[in-house]
């Protein structure tokens, strides 16, 4: 049983490392440092993800608010509707990863998916605001 837990933790760290590397441009160094310090402890990893998610959500809201004044009334309505749909998709997609039979890795993957989608959307809105 202990070997299974060790293998699962190793797999989990590998997945998280790959995901974090793929998103380094969007996620802060403090986040990757926090994950490194967690030593694969689920509760600590979830704390790291939670802290970064809060930061990325604030970044997303700031980007959204910066973009809105640049748009015509019709485009503002389109962005509002798009954002509402995106939020529903992010929730549904993250929830899908929270497989009830997936154990702790499913919880981490679900939270990590939510985080990465938030960071990607923040970057997308920041780019839109540049144009």
pLDDT of residue 18: 43
Which pTM value belongs to this model?
Answer: 0.81
Return the closest-CA partner of residue 64 out of 43, 51, 81.
81
pLDDT tens readout for residues 34-48: 999 999 999 999 999
pLDDT tens readout for residues 106-130: 999 999 999 999 999 999 999 999 9
Share of the chain above pLDDT 90, in %: 77
Residue 25 pLDDT more than 80?
A: no
How many angstroms separate the CA atoms of 70 and 131, rounded?
9
Half-sphere exposure of 87 (CA within 13 A, CB side): 10
Q: Which CATH number among 1.10.1040.10, 1.20.1740.10, 1.20.1270.180, 2.170.190.11 corresponds to the domain 2-130?
A: 1.20.1270.180
Return the closest-CA partner of residue 113 out of 99, 124, 125, 97.
97
Residue 17 pLDDT more than 90?
A: no
**DSSP code at position 99:** -
């Amino acid at each position: 049983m202990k070997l299974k837990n060790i293998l699962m933790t190793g797999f989990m760290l590998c997945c998280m490392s790959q995901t974090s590397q793929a998103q380094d441009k969007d996620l802060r160094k403090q986040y990757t440092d926090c994950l490194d310090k967690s030593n694969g402890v689920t509760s600590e990893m979830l704390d790291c993800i939670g802290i970064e998610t809060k930061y990325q959500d604030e970044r997303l809201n700031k980007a959204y608010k910066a973009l809105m004044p640049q748009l015509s009334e019709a485009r503002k309505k389109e962005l509002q509707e798009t954002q509402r749909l995106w939020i529903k998709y992010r929730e549904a997609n993250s929830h899908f990863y929270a497989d009830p039979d997936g154990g702790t890795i499913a919880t981490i993957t679900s939270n990590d998916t939510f985080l990465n989608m938030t960071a990607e959307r923040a970057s997308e809105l920041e780019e839109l605001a540049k144009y």
